Structure 1
Amino acid sequence: MGRAMELREIEIFLTLAEELHFGRTAERLHVTPSRVSHVIKKQERRIGSPLFERTSRTVRLTVLGEQLRDELLPAHQRIRKALERATAQGRATEGELHIGYTTPWCAELLLRAGDAFRAQYPGWSVRAREIPFTDPYGSLQRGEVHVQIAEFPVLEPGIVTGPVLFREPKALMLPADHPLARASAVSLEDLADVPMIRLELDTIRSKAAVDTHFPQRTPMGRSIPRGPSCSSWYEIPVMVAAGFGASIVAARAAEYHARPGITFVPISDAPTLDYGVLLPAAGAGPLVEPFVDLLRTQAAGALLHAREDRLRR
């Protein structure tokens, strides 16, 4: 295209390629139609070929014009978004991010990212809050938090999913005296042999959350016995220790919820439990994207350290 082509000239070309009308293009960009015409002729002279076919009634892109539009448009959109983010961040000298989390290991990641965030943006603070399993997305939908770290999958109105931060193997939290507690691993089919303690399902709005954490059948279709229901997840380890049933958890839960009377056994054939970023579809504020980048960096660093620890063992 030539190094002398300026961003404003690209914008004029792309707008005309969309409007296919010199007057409307000029009106959108707050310039005169003669300015639009001058810029397009300048571009065509530089390239050595027409970009538009013009008649007294119509304006159409040539094949070369279509090719140039298709190649320039994605880059132009990225540049605009980058400038918008930089402008918003430059104006936002102080404020507070509200971040939601669902598990202690999500909270630890959040706090590490928060420390790095405050170092980069001294005028900003980060406030964390635990999200209850019985209202997993309400805080985000109501605008009470800007970002949430939660279990995937999530299909909820008004929410978009960001990157997956880490993936956790699953385990079965069992009473220590249950026969399966002596196994080195269990399978999903073994769930048919133990009652599953669950939250009161009528309080959980997300079908994806129910299917992930409280399945009712094994992969082969066997019924999974239903154990007692609880109103809070923190009641479940108590019920397991008392011998009332089992629960599917992230394997890392053994580091945070171990107690007498409980054993954690890996589930060999279960898909991982993935944790990622949730954002409001309407937009979450000027410094949310940098914070999400820090979450990804911290998560990648934690994964690398975990691998190094395993190698040292």
Structure 2
Amino acid sequence: MDVHVRDLRYFLAVAEELHFTRAAERLFVSQPALSKQIGRLEATLRVPLFVRDRRSVALTAAGSALVSPARDVVARWDEAQRAVADAAAAETAVLRVGMSTSVGRDLLPSAAERFAMRHPSWRIQPRQVDWGDPTAGLADGTADVALIWLPASAEPPLTSRVLVTEPRWVALPAAHRLAGNEEIAFAELLDEPFLALPQDAGAVRDHWLAMDQRAGHPVRIGATVANADETFEAITNGLGIALLSSGNAAIYRRPGIVTRPVTGLSPTLLSIAWRAGDHRAVVRDFVEACTAYRPGEGREETAP
């Protein structure tokens, strides 16, 4: 009878922990189920792999001899799974890029052009996601990579690279008392009603409310908005003001709305993100294509 890769994973967990309970917790299985599986592996190999008593677990000579080959087999199988995933993705040849509203600054066309040099048969598929999902589709698997604002969501674990660092501006009604100022100190905005992202946006919601720079001053929420269109409507109707990145100021310039630089705030960071552990070549190459972008190659639109 052949040994399954799962059996080798179980064996390695016990060999590395030398403790069945800890190994079971690591594998998210019950300790009796793990013991039963190890027993079957020993029966298949016709040799004991561990010496057990009530206080300790130790490898036998046969168990020690199996550790290195088992690691090789598991590593090769993981590599094979990644290759299969790459091949399956290559059949559809579509890389889904999540984002909130549109991304300008010429970033996406520039990245797509560089990406096409390595993967000419692939197509970039932009996917618009409302602001309630700060991962822009990475959390539910509807995006392969995403352009997001930091701080990133803790779940799922993401890896990201900063692409653009920009000052924060404010969008406010054209009739606002501060609309005529060339720039506005954040202290002058503390008591204003702010437009807030949905609660599910978490730390990104707090960032666009500048919660970390209010020194305990409470925030007034004028309305909750889930996308750019709702934001434009709310500002025009005087429901509140909204912080935004300087690179996106152009898309807010419409009748009834003005944008101004805000002093006294830290900058905002636009990044390219992907799920931690996603090692597909197409993801890596698209990330590299994005990081090759230099501000000034074009002008962009990404809200907030």
Normalised-by-shorter TM-score class: 0.5 to 0.7
> Which SS does the other structure have where 2:244 is aligned?
strand
1:156 corresponds to which of 154, 157, 168: 154
> Which SS does the other structure have where 1:179 is aligned?
coil
Alpha-carbon distance in 1 for matches of 2:121, 2:258: 45
Alpha-carbon distance in 1 for matches of 2:282, 2:61: 38
1:144-188 CA-partner distances (Å, limit 9, x unpaired):
211111000013222222211111211110111212111121122
1:128-158 CA-partner distances (Å, limit 9, x unpaired):
1012102233721222211111000013222
Query: For residue 268 of structure 1, what is the aligned residue in structure 2?
Result: 263
1:192-229 CA-partner distances (Å, limit 9, x unpaired):
24221234x3xx32320121113468624333333133
Query: For residue 246 of structure 2, what is the aligned residue in structure 1?
Result: 251
From the CA coordinates, give the structure whose radius of gyration is larger: 1
Query: For residue 77 of structure 1, what is the aligned residue in structure 2?
Result: none
Q: Quick check: 1:159–1:280 contact (8 Å CA) kept in 2?
A: yes
1:15-71 CA-partner distances (Å, limit 9, x unpaired):
xxxxxx9977764555xxxxxxxxxxxxxxxxxxxxxxxxxxxxxxxxxxxxxxxxx
1:279 aligns with 2:274: yes
1:57-112 CA-partner distances (Å, limit 9, x unpaired):
xxxxxxxxxxxxxxxxxxxxxxxxxxx99999799765221111124236842232
Q: Quick check: 1:98–1:126 contact (8 Å CA) kept in 2?
A: yes
**TM, length-normalised to structure 2:** 0.65
| Structure-to-structure mapping, 1:194-233, within 5 angstroms | 194-199=192-197, 201=198, 204-215=199-210, 219-233=214-228
| Structure-to-structure mapping, 1:1-313, within 5 angstroms | 27-28=66-67, 95-105=93-103, 108-137=106-135, 139-199=137-197, 201=198, 204-215=199-210, 219-283=214-278, 285-298=280-293, 301=294, 303=295, 305=297
Query: For residue 27 of structure 2, what is the aligned residue in structure 1?
Result: none
> Which SS does the other structure have where 2:200 is aligned?
coil
Residue type of the partner of 1:285?
Answer: R
Alpha-carbon distance in 2 for matches of 1:101, 1:107: 14
Query: How many residue pairs end up in the alignment?
Result: 234
Which consecutive unaligned segments of at least 5 residues does structure 1 have?
Answer: 1-20, 31-83, 307-313
Alpha-carbon distance in 1 for matches of 2:213, 2:143: 36
The structure with more helix, counted as a fraction of residues: 1
Q: Quick check: 1:146–1:284 contact (8 Å CA) kept in 2?
A: no
Alpha-carbon distance in 2 for matches of 1:145, 1:107: 21
**Relative contact order higher in (CA < 8 Å, ≥ 6 apart):** 2
Alpha-carbon distance in 1 for matches of 2:128, 2:89: 26
Q: Quick check: 2:105–2:297 contact (8 Å CA) kept in 1?
A: no
**TM, length-normalised to structure 1:** 0.63
Q: Following TM superposition, by how much is the alpha carbon of 1:127 offset from its aligned partner in structure 2, in angstroms?
A: 1.1
Query: For residue 81 of structure 1, what is the aligned residue in structure 2?
Result: none
Q: Quick check: 1:92–1:286 contact (8 Å CA) kept in 2?
A: no
Q: Quick check: 2:86–2:280 contact (8 Å CA) kept in 1?
A: no
Q: Percent same amino acid among aligned pairs?
A: 24
> Which SS does the other structure have where 2:281 is aligned?
coil
Which consecutive unaligned segments of at least 5 residues does structure 2 have?
Answer: 1-59, 70-80, 299-304
Residue type of the partner of 1:144?
Answer: T
Deviates more, 1:107-116 or 1:187-196: 107-116
Indicate how the Cα distance of structure 1 residues 118 and 228 shifts in structure 2: closer, same or farther if over 3 A, else same.
Answer: same
Q: Following TM superposition, by how much is the alpha carbon of 1:243 offset from its aligned partner in structure 2, in angstroms?
A: 2.6
Alpha-carbon distance in 1 for matches of 2:230, 2:168: 19
Runs of 4+ in 1 over 4 A off after TM superposition: 21-30, 84-94, 215-218
Residue type of the partner of 1:132?
Answer: D
Residue type of the partner of 1:171?
Answer: W
CA RMSD of aligned residues (A): 3.6
Alpha-carbon distance in 2 for matches of 1:85, 1:284: 8
